[in-house]
Structure 1
């Protein structure tokens, strides 16, 4: 008797995985995470062209930069390796007109091409960024002050500068839907001369957007963020928002 065993493997299909929407800070950058798949071509494929379109079918990003529409040419970039099915897109200097919806198209030389119009992503923007700032301090003991902010551009994470010297540790954590959280922790030993002096955490985004958090620290108390200021790029005016 001859026993034959058949193994059935489900073929891949034209599919893409993107968040339904991402949120970015106006004037900063935003990254749209994207992966795609296609049916097994049964041949060797080495040449891939990736294209992103907006709702007006403008080419907002193209593997061949010269094919990108002029208003997007220096603001968009494909971050992923298309041969590894990564189609992630970065939009720099986010503008109100970038809201989308956007969709991705792949062209595989010698095989096929496909537009993932059923996998569109919208981009929303915010004018200011909110942050958290907290610390506990007791005279003569080490203090750990933390400053945390959400963002959507892991390619250019925000940088932190503290007004007090000490040991600084920064880290970035991926959340969901294209959102990230960056936190800076400063450890130092306060003394009596620090009483009622402001402790500032200055966060700078890509392209110069700056967010300043300030709190007053004194001996033996827990302090929360009391001022949140966003400085627009190239602007002289400040927008202050007291937090509750």
Structure 2
């Protein structure tokens, strides 16, 4: 009598507290036997707006061993026969307009790699997705392994580097950079605001240089670097106070 009671308590406990991989809910259009074959994939990933995220995915399914594999990622609830995927390496299949060029799966010659790469993440990308494979003899939707993608507001800010002390009449190169920005994303647009005498210097994909010619009256004034991510229309900025000190240099007569 004790053994059945313990078994019953264990089953109830699994139902209430067991939220592991095997206990994920089955979404719509997902048949009960979908749990027979599973992926190695996280339940959720998070990314800030305008940035990139990789959904790591490995397919241990022994049935998938062809060197040419067609891979698809669909939104939860999609009809894989009629609805457009969000990403695929199938050149004969049209993806959704909103994900065109932003969602990417890997090469056909990597049958075990089902990872999904998202760049220029948008708020509308938030949702759940599942993977499907077509390797000739095997056509299978791994809908039991939904991945939740959450796109949050962009909270990162630019870094402004001021080398050394700003001296009146001595030009200095200030650098604004966004080292956290995605290298695969659409390049950001930099802009500067300052009452001081400035000129733009060289820039890279993720940094901009401003040549500042400080004057005594620039001490304590604001200098702002704004970075806009055009793919999503989101801007962030950083403001610093200029600290101009020291002796005058040639070209700036004293008062």
Same fold by TM (over 0.5)? yes
Unaligned runs of 5+ in 2: 1-36, 80-84, 247-255
- In the alignment, which of 116, 119, 131 is matched to residue 88 of structure 1? 116
Which protein has the bigger helix share? Answer: 2
Deviations 1:104-155 (A, max 9, x none): 22222245645163362322332x5441444444213745444437456733
Map of 1:116-135 to 2, 5 A cutoff? 117-118=144-145, 120-126=147-153, 128-135=154-161
- In the alignment, which of 192, 215, 218 is matched to residue 195 of structure 1? 218
Structure with bigger gyration radius: 2
> Using a 3 Å threshold, how does the CA distance of structure 1 residues 138 and 103 change in structure 2: closer, same or farther?
same
- TM-score normalised by the chain length of structure 1: 0.56
Map of 1:13-162 to 2, 5 A cutoff? 15-18=39-42, 20-25=44-49, 28=50, 30-39=52-61, 45-57=66-78, 59-64=85-90, 67-68=93-94, 70=96, 72=98, 74=100, 76-84=102-110, 85=113, 87-90=115-118, 94-96=122-124, 98-111=125-138, 113=140, 115=142, 117-118=144-145, 120-126=147-153, 128-136=154-162, 137-139=165-167, 140=170, 142-148=172-178, 150-151=180-181, 154-162=184-192
In structure 1, how many angstroms separate the alpha carbons of the residues matched to 2:174 and 2:70? Answer: 48
Q: CA deviation at 1:203?
A: 1.4
Unaligned runs of 5+ in 1: 1-12, 172-182, 222-244
> Using a 3 Å threshold, how does the CA distance of structure 1 residues 47 and 161 change in structure 2: closer, same or farther?
same
In structure 1, how many angstroms separate the alpha carbons of the residues matched to 2:64 and 2:128? Answer: 33
- TM-score normalised by the chain length of structure 2: 0.54
> Using a 3 Å threshold, how does the CA distance of structure 1 residues 194 and 214 change in structure 2: closer, same or farther?
farther
In structure 2, how many angstroms separate the alpha carbons of the residues matched to 1:48 and 1:42? Answer: 8
Deviations 1:153-173 (A, max 9, x none): 7332434344643654647xx
1:209 correspondence with 2:233: yes
